[in-house]
Amino acid sequence: MDITRDISPLTEFKRDSARMIARMKETGQPQILTVNGRASVVMMDAALWQDMQDQLDHAEAIAGIRKGLAQAQAGEGAEAAQFFDQLTATK
């Protein structure tokens, strides 16, 4: 990210949105818009946003699997049959 190019006032975006969107799509970089000199909104290409969300979902799944494996190695948890028996008994 190039802060001299990728951070702009919202008023500039209102004046020249087509050019800024084209540049954002060309560079693949998000655009930060400011209001009263403070970062307010981050814009990015929808496909890039989806890719980022997919990567986040994948990382969260891997972290969950690692946590589960660590718990299993530490002897935490219960056998599946025992868990389902307890689940059925609480209904």
Q: What is the DSSP string of 30-85?
A: -EEEEETTEEEEEE--HHHHHHHHHHHHHHHHHHHHHHHHHHHHTT-S--HHHHHH
Mean pLDDT for back-to-back runs of 10 residues, the chain (91 residues)? 74 93 88 93 91 96 95 88 86 67
Q: Are 7 and 24 in contact (CB under 8 A)?
A: no
State pTM to two decimals: 0.63
Give the separation between CA 45 and CA 54, rounded to whole angstroms: 14
Please, which residues have CB within 8 angstroms of residue 20's CB and are 6 or more apart in sequence?
Answer: 8, 12, 13, 31
